[in-house]
């Protein structure tokens, strides 16, 4: 069973995907966390200058460091670099503001594609991202596209970020999210699209639980 949930930043995909995976007792993979981990490697190794990435060295870093998912609790797998959990370090605005340029690199996408398909080889998964139903698992039986307005998504992201970053403003979060939407939708390789045969759910007027119930109902 492969369930794909795509959508723009902060549309609630990961939270919903986690709840759907809990309902079916299957694994949840947040594919955005892989791109965030690669961005962390790029920043830690000083490979991003004026929004340009040193691709050659980044690929070398990917060869020398192991990115994987490790079990945290039942069916909850979290991203690791060299077996160390990095969840907190990949959720900063510095990573968010650089991840779209890293995710646009063809070689990076090829690397991530292999990892995603390997994970789903022998097990059922719910995977969320931007290209899961369109490129990674185009033949998946259950495909969803979660959408919400930029205003609602910005407020959700701001509420999350301000727990750790006290000075962050809603206006800046909205600008960053809009920039990320533009980059994710217009990039050459695997842009954010509504996958063929996917069901679109707009979450503007729905709670997380309502979206989750809707997806489970549709699958049934
Ligand atoms: O879902 P997120 O905000 O954590 O994703 C981070 C970035 O990764 C996002 O700006 C686009 C990229 N991404 C992607 O290109 N393809 C995916 N399947 C998942 C994420």
Give CA–CA dist 136/109, Å, rounded: 10
Where does residue 123 rank: exposed (0-12), middle (13-18), buried (19+ CB within 10 A)? exposed
pLDDT at 6 over 90: yes
* Mean pLDDT value of segment 42-60: 97
Minimum CA distance residue for ligand 1 atom 6 = 32
3-state secondary structure the chain: CEEEEECCCCCCHHHHHHHHHHHHCCEEEECHHHHHHHHHHHHHCCCEECCEECHHHHHHHHHHCCEEEEEEECCEEEEEECCEECCHHHHCHHHHHHHHHHHCCHHHHHHHHHHHHHHCCCCCEEEEECCHHHHHCCCCCEEEEEECCHHHHHHHHHHHHCCCCCCCCHHHHHHHHHHHHHHHHHCCCCCCCCCCCCEEEECCCCCHHHHHHHHHHHHC
- Is the shortest distance between the CB of 145 and ligand 1 below 6 Å? no
Number of the ligand 1 atom closest to the C-alpha atom of 180: 10
Closest-CA residue, ligand 1 atom 3, reads 9
CA of 35 from ligand 1 middle (Å) equals 6
Q: What is the pLDDT of residue 74?
A: 80
Confidence of residue 45 (pLDDT cuts 50, 70, 90): very high
Q: What's residue 173's pLDDT?
A: 93
Return d(Cα 65, Cα 111) in angstroms, integer: 13
Choice between 185 and 75, residue whose per-residue pLDDT is larger: 185
Instruction: Give the pLDDT confidence score for residue 166 in this predicted structure.
Output: 83
pLDDT at 81 over 90: yes
Closest atom of ligand 1 relative to the 187 alpha carbon: 15
Asked if 117 and 138 count as a contact pair (C-beta separation under 8 A), the reply is: no
Determine if ligand 1 sits within 6 Å of the CB of residue 156: no
How much of the chain exceeds pLDDT 70, in percent?
100
Kindly report the length of the chain. Answer: 220
Rounded mean pLDDT, 191-214: 95
Q: What is the pLDDT of residues 144-202, one digit of tens each?
A: 999 999 999 999 999 988 888 888 899 999 999 999 899 889 989 999 999 999 999 99
180 Cβ inside 6 Å of ligand 1:
yes
CB of 131 within 6 A of ligand 1: the answer is yes
CA 145 to chain centre: 13
> Is 31 touching ligand 1 by the criterion CB < 6 Å?
yes
Which whole number is the average pLDDT over 7-36? 95
What pLDDT score does 96 carry? 87
For ligand 1, say whether the CB of 35 is within 6 Å of any of its atoms.
Answer: yes
Q: What is the pLDDT of residue 119?
A: 93
Question: Average model confidence (pLDDT) for the chain?
Answer: 94
């Amino acid at each position: 069973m492969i369930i794909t949930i795509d959508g723009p930043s902060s549309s609630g995909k990961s939270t919903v995907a986690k709840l759907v995976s809990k309902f079916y007792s299957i694994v949840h993979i947040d594919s955005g966390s892989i791109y965030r981990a690669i961005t962390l490697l790029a920043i830690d190794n000083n490979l991003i200058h004026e929004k340009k990435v040193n691709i050659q060295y980044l690929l070398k870093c990917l060869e020398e460091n192991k990115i994987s998912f490790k079990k945290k609790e039942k069916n909850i797998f979290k991203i690791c670099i060299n077996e160390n959990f990095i969840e907190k370090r990949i959720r900063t605005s510095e990573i968010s503001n650089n991840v779209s340029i890293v995710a646009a690199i063809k070689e990076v996408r090829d690397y991530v594609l292999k990892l995603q398909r390997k994970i789903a080889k022998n097990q059922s998964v719910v995977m969320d991202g931007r290209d899961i139903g369109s490129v990674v698992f185009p033949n998946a039986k259950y495909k969803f596209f979660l959408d919400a307005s930029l205003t609602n998504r910005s407020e959700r992201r701001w509420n999350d970020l301000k727990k750790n970053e006290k000075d962050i403003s809603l206006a800046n979060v909205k600008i960053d999210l809009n920039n990320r939407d533009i980059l994710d939708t217009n990039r050459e390789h695997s842009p954010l699209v509504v996958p063929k045969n996917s069901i679109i759910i707009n979450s503007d007027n729905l709670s997380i639980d309502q979206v989750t119930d809707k997806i489970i109902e549709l699958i049934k």
